[in-house]
A and B are shown apart, each in its own frame.
Chain A
Amino acid sequence: MLEVTCLSAWYGEAQVLTDVSLAVHEGEVATLVGRNGAGKTTLLRCVMGLHRSLEGQLRLDERDLDRLSPNARARAGIGWVPDDRGIYASLTVEENLTLPPVVSADRAWPVEQIYEAFPALADRRASMGTQLSGGEQQMLAMARVLRMGSSLLLLDEPSEGLAPVIVQRIGEIIRQITDHGVGVLLVEQNVTFAATVADRHYLLAQGRVVEQLDNAQFQAREHELLEHLGI
């Protein structure tokens, strides 16, 4: 589904990604694990088309993404949950939810289904976006891409700063949507959470993929990885 080939990216003179190659398949969760500053968020921004200083190839379902604008990529099925959650302060919860277009009617969650899955959002649908707690904002950011019906989700630390119950809930939702063929590229520092939802893991260090592990290998080395990552 998503194929990243030999991706290098720069901020000005500084190279932040070097020859990164990875793939996410349908119905699969792949994680990017690495320290702060390893280039994880930059990689997601490259896929979304928001970071333009890059070389290499990005393909979604055999289709070249290079020439597509960010909004065309979103319409092609990429759903982004940014690390700052990206909730609009000047929009209500419901407006935040219904702002983006539905990109696939088959896959898109109707608003009622979203409110069923996230009752906290239903209660606060008329509140302004930033009146939500951090956890509610994270749920809203997830809910927003579910409503779009994206086929590939880019999740940037969805568990960060959330109560364990909510993290668990997000894990369940990720499994539920991947059962329907959605692919997920998950940036995560919470190694334990990553191990509960992911199929494969890419370890990113100083802008390079240093190792690729399946989930069994990953779980077996969890402690070592925790130490290595310093998290």
Chain B
Amino acid sequence: MSAFIQYTLQGLAAGGFYALAALGLAVIFGVLGVVNFAHGACYMLGAVVSAVLLDVVGLHFWPALVIVPILMFLFGVLLERVFVQWLLRLDVLYNFLLTFGIALVLVDLVKRRYGVSGLPYEQPAGLRGQLHLGSLSLPTYQVFVFAFSMLVCVLVWLLLTRTRIGMIVRASTEEPERTRALGINVNRWVTPVFGFGIGLAGLAGVLAAPFRAITADMGGNFVIILFAVVVIGGLGSVLGAVVAGFLVGLVEAYGQAYASSFSQIAIFVLMALVILVRPAGLFGRQETA
């Protein structure tokens, strides 16, 4: 039983990374109609930047948790202004070519500079060791990752449902053309939303830094699972991204625990089953399918 709870926690912690990154992917797709294949690379960059800042200027985990997402937001703004904005008028094929190309460039730049062996990152002070709850003992860091990513998801949810900006983002996600015709300058929100999505991927990267191997390739496998997450949740659905993120984290963890050779396949079997029953994903609307 206690092993099961540990696997569950492991799944929820991994799910936290998926949920945060998928949330970013979902708002970007919603408002820009762009599927960002560079999202895994941005997650990787979040982790690498944290490690480099720790090494070079001694910036620790806690400040990095705030500063790195802001840097990644700015990086997203730059990407959008320089490259992504030109996609909005082009065939979707260019969307794939550009964002996939950006991912390759980022990965190779990191490889060139920092090699492939991985960067070190210590578990942050206060989050080391085990948390003892009665007879249970759980890795403190995993508990933190789960709680923190849930908190961020809830905050993003509040931002989307309780503010005027969120209302405009929801409206633009649902029906960009009609929203323009109602006098809303949707284009004005495109750049900040893209930056915000990249910032969330970067945040997932910071959280992953003490927990996963920090290598240039860490985003490759991640982005593939991320797409399974958004397909399961429903592309463009914010709630779907969060729920499916944690769900996929759990499936992966149980898979690794009980049938390790099938753990990756299990995610895609889940995806296939969801598509068979609900082609638009768990929370997707039919027309987005």
Contacts and interface: CB of A to CB of B under 8 A. Distances in A.
Interface of A: 48-50, 69-71, 73-75, 80, 82, 86, 88-91, 95, 99-101, 103, 144, 148
B185 interface: yes
12 contacts: A69-B185, A70-B177, A70-B180, A71-B184, A71-B186, A73-B181, A74-B181, A74-B183, A80-B182, A90-B174, A91-B167, A101-B183
Given A88-B174, A90-B174, A99 B181 contact: no
Contacts of B181: 48-50, 70-71, 73-74, 80, 82
A103 B175 contact: no
Nearest to A101: B183
A100 B167 contact: no
B159 to A, nearest CB: 14
Contacts of A101: 183-184
A206 B91 CA distance: 32
Contacts of A75: 183
A99 B168 CA distance: 7
A100 B184 contact: yes
Given A89-B285, A91-B167, A99 B182 contact: yes
Contact of A100 (B175, B177, B182, B186): B182
Nearest to A86: B178
B142 interface: no
Interface string B96-127: 00000000000000000000000000000000
A86 B182 CA distance: 10
Residue among B170, B181, B285 with max Cβ neighbours from chain A (10 Å): B181
B175 A86 contact: yes
Contact of A71 (B173, B174, B180): B180
Nearest to A74: B183
- Does more than half of chain A's interface fall in helix, strand or loop, or is it mixed? loop
Nearest to B239: A90
A100 B183 contact: yes
A225 B150 CA distance: 62
A49 B180 CA distance: 10
A50 B181 CA distance: 8
B29 to A, nearest CB: 15
Given A75-B183, A90-B170, A90-B171, 12 more contacts: A70-B180, A71-B186, A74-B182, A80-B181, A80-B182, A88-B170, A88-B175, A89-B285, A91-B167, A95-B167, A99-B171, A100-B183
B174 A89 contact: yes
A82 B180 contact: no
A91 B182 CA distance: 14
Contacts of A71: 180-186
Contacts of A89: 174, 285
Nearest to B170: A90
B178 A148 contact: no
A49 B182 CA distance: 11
A63 B168 CA distance: 28
Nearest to A89: B174
B99 to A, nearest CB: 26
The 6 closest A-B pairs by CB, nearest first: A74-B183, A100-B182, A70-B180, A70-B181, A90-B170, A71-B180
A82 B175 CA distance: 13
Nearest to B185: A71
Contacts of B171: 88, 90-91, 99
A130 to B, nearest CB: 10
A144 B184 CA distance: 13
A148 B182 CA distance: 9
Contacts of B185: 69, 71
Interface in B78-107: none
Interface in B155-194: 167-168, 170-171, 173-175, 177-186
Contacts of B182: 71, 74, 80, 99-100, 144, 148
B58 to A, nearest CB: 44
A58 to B, nearest CB: 14
Contacts of B174: 88-91
Contacts of B173: 90
Contacts of A88: 170-171, 174-175
Given A71-B183, A71-B184, A100-B184, A50 B170 contact: no
Contacts of B168: 99
Nearest to A45: B181
Contacts of B186: 71
B204 to A, nearest CB: 24
A148 B183 contact: yes
